[in-house]
Amino acid sequence: MSTTSPELAAPNPVKAGDSFPEGVEFSYIPYTPENESITSCGRPQKYLASKEFSDKKVVLFAVPGAFTPGCSVKHLPGFIEHLSEIKAKGVDLIVVIAFNDAWVMSAWAKANSIKEEILFMTDTDTQFSKRIGWTRGDRTGRYAMVIDHGKITYAENEAGGDVTVSGVDAVLKAL
């Protein structure tokens, strides 16, 4: 019997056909009108991703860091621009994760005028990204997944610095 916790176990990359891993938690600050200002903080809450994703169609994409050029200029804007097209394909939830804390992720959402259309979450201590082996040093990697009622139907990790297999065009094709 192993006593190794999932975040300390050897990386186990995911692929299409796998079930979304059990025990995955993120942290985020839900949008509220009281916290609409970029300078208001809110309180981080746990988000039980494994549970929440089990009965939804989800697009999950990860970026190495909020407010960075590749993430803010190349990666995130495509998902914002194509929100209605993504939703029209039956997607219930769009989630972006990064290694940044919940306050930074909340501010990044506000800086992009996003309220609830995309959930901006932290991969706390990069536990999930480490678990699947998709990191960039101490940061989350750049990757994307489509999870359909707990089953992964698309999972791709960027090998280089470009936004290709994790970008909105690849995700839309996978939907």
Neighbours of 65 (CB within 10 A): 18
Q: Would strands 57-62 and 143-148 be described as parallel, antiparallel, or unpaired?
A: antiparallel
- Residues designated catalytic: 71
Residues 40/30, Cβ–Cβ less than 8 Å: no
- Mean pLDDT in consecutive groups of 10 residues from the start of the chain, 175 residues: 42 92 97 91 96 98 93 93 98 98 96 96 96 95 97 95 95 98
Report the distance separating Cα 142 and Cα 135, nearest Å: 8
How confident is the model over 8-25, as pLDDT tens digits? 455 788 999 999 999 999
How confident is the model over 34-50, as pLDDT tens digits? 999 998 889 999 999 99
Q: Is the pTM of this model over 0.85?
A: yes
92 — alpha (psi -120 to 50), left (phi > 0) or beta?
Answer: alpha
